[in-house]
Amino acid sequence: MTTTLVSVTSGRLGRARSRALLTGILAAVVVALVATSLMVGQTFYGPGEVLRVVLGQHVPGASFAVGELRLPRTTLALVAGLALGLAGVTFQTMLHNPLASPDVIGISSGASAAAVVAIVVLRLPESLVSLVAIGAALLTALVIYLLAYRDGVVGTRLILIGIGISAMLDSVVSYVIVRAATWDLQTAMRWLTGSVNGAVWSTVAPLTLAVLVLAPVLLAQARPLRLMQHGDDAAAALGVPVERTRVIAILAAVGLVALATAAAGPIAFVAFLAGPIAARIVGPGTSLMVPAALVGAVLVLGADLVGQHAAGNRYPVGVVTGVLGAPYLVHLLIRTNRAGGSP
């Protein structure tokens, strides 16, 4: 008994310590990437200059380049990454399936299609675009859920239906973009693959606010969601109000995806990749929400740096994350096929 108690306590503390350490390292990488994207560009500004600009002081040259151009862009990459990582891992945990992330099952596409239609066809102002995107994302989630419902929702059916819906909505985006001949390539790319180019505070601010509000809401559901991995009955037997948890989690996660998409377009595969990468890094058994949010931020910030500076051309962030995510999607689909249902 006492020896078991000692080993239980030390095992738990050891695992908790290593998770905290690894999460801390992830957070440090995020900070480093934020700093790098603020310093690097056509002109290099040192950390001192960047810090002064961020603190609101006037620095000739740097105030414009860093304050007006890089800061909104970097903030957008940071919060969009956090939002997508958090929303992705929420869906994956809730439906116990790595394929069930909002960007694979069409929720991002719903937000994206609605945003494009709102801008090009309806010519709505920016502030309304976010709202339209949220509404459309919720509607898409509801449609997928209803189509997949037959004596309860089976993950695989929901995913296949979601992939189909996603393809349909993506073609809506392409159609509208082709019709809107006046658009420049950059804007078009934003709605096709996601991009943080040309970020402005008017879209970055609502997303930042949403992350500040919705992230704590989701984090409060971390424990119940984790127990729902055992199945609804087992979770309820452990005291989880299953239906309420599910509704809160879906609303908050869809809201995050919709606002991230309204601001930066459907950045490919970040929501999909963040959870599995976080699980690899910190190990399973605990909540992956914080690590997955940080991995999401690392992916978007890192992909944007690579897209802007590493390749000869300037690629939007979604192209880079797409190149990373597509092989993993294929891998999971093959595994699902072999396992005859659930990966």
Under the rule (CB under 8 A), what is the footprint of another protein?
1, 3-5, 7-9, 11-12, 15, 96, 151, 220, 223, 226-227, 229-234, 236-241, 279, 283-286
What span, in angstroms and rounded, lies between the C-alpha atoms of 177 and 107? 19
Q: What are phi and psi of 285, to 5 degrees?
A: 100, -20
Separation between Cα atoms, residue 71 and residue 277, nearest integer Å: 27
Which C-beta is closer to another protein: that of 204 or that of 290?
290
Please, which residue, 212 or 238, has the CB nearer to another protein? Answer: 238
Min CB(19)–another protein separation in Å: 11
How near is the Cβ of 336 to another protein at its closest, in Å? 14
Smallest gap from Cβ 224 to another protein, in A, equals 8
Q: What is the DSSP string of 83-147?
A: HHHHHHHHHHHHTT-TT--TTTTTHHHHHHHHHHIIIIIS---HHHHHHHHHHHHHHHHHHHHHH
15 vs 157 by CB, closer to another protein: 15
CB 157, min distance to another protein, A: 18
**CB closer to another protein, 40 vs 236:** 236
User: Least distance to another protein from the beta carbon of 208, Å?
Assistant: 25
Closest CB to another protein among 41 and 283? 283
**Residue 86: which of 239, 244, 255, 227 has the closest Cα?**
255
Tell me how far apart the alpha carbons of residues 262 and 119 are, in angstroms, rounded to a whole number: 11
> Smallest gap, in angstroms, from Cβ of residue 119 to another protein?
40
Angle at CA of residue 82, ends 76 and 83, nearest 5°: 85
Amino acid found at 266: P
CB of 22 to another protein, least distance (A): 15
Spatial separation of the C-alpha atoms in residues 272 and 186, rounded to whole Å:
24
Closer to another protein at the Cβ: 20 or 310?
Answer: 20
| Per-residue b or e along 326-342, where b marks 16 or more CB atoms closer than 10 Å to that residue's CB | eeebeebeeebeeeeee
Residue nearer to another protein on the CB measure, 9 or 171: 9
Report the nearest approach of another protein to the CB of residue 235 (Å). Answer: 9
* CA distances (Å), origin 41, targets 45, 282, 310, 330: 8, 33, 12, 35
Euclidean distance between CA atoms 112 and 169, whole angstroms: 8
Give the other-Cβ count within 10 Å of 285's Cβ. Answer: 10
Q: How far is the CB of 343 from another protein (least distance, A)?
A: 10
* 173 within 8 A of 120, measured Cβ to Cβ: no
For 279-305, give the secondary structure using H, E and C. Answer: HHHHCCCCCCHHHHHHHHHHHHHHHHH
Give the residue with the Cβ less far from another protein, 5 or 185. Answer: 5
Nearer to another protein, 5 or 55 (CB): 5
